């Protein structure tokens, strides 16, 4: 019953925004998406390892992923990919 309720809440509210956080966790208009993780992303073996690590019997579960963002106020500079580089080595 609790798992079903949690799934319903996350389904009805698929994004977190600044209204649900206090302080400066998110800026105006920023959102963190929430989505169900498919078994191909987090497979059976990983799920079993999770329950074993808790020392609990296996229970029904649904995995969700919350989007992330980078912190910082500095603007990132554009970095060019290195296509070729020459390195000279001298013997002493």
Structure confidence by residue, pLDDT tens digits, 7-61: 898 889 888 888 887 777 777 778 888 888 887 888 888 888 988 999 988 888 8
Return the pLDDT at 73: 61
Which residues on neighbouring strands pair with residue 64, listed in sequence order? 36
Return the pLDDT at 63: 86
Q: Domain containing 27: what range?
A: 2-66
**Residue (of 83, 74, 70) closest to 26 by Cα position:** 70
Inside any domain, residue 36: yes
Inside any domain, residue 10: yes
Inside any domain, residue 85: no
Inside any domain, residue 38: yes
- Separation between Cα atoms, residue 38 and residue 23, nearest integer Å: 32
- Separation between Cα atoms, residue 35 and residue 20, nearest integer Å: 17
Inside any domain, residue 40: yes
Question: Would the pLDDT of 75 be above 80?
Answer: no
Q: How many domains does the chain have?
A: 1
**Residue (of 37, 34, 33) closest to 61 by Cα position:** 37
């Amino acid at each position: 019953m609790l798992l079903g309720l949690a799934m319903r809440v996350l389904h009805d509210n698929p994004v977190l925004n600044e209204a649900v956080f206090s302080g400066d966790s998110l800026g105006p208009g920023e959102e963190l998406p929430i989505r169900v993780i498919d078994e191909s992303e987090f497979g059976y073996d990983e799920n079993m390892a999770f329950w074993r690590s808790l020392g609990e019997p296996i229970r029904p579960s649904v995995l969700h992923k919350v989007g992330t963002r980078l912190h910082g106020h500095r603007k990132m500079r554009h970095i060019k990919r290195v296509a070729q580089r020459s390195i000279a080595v001298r013997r002493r």
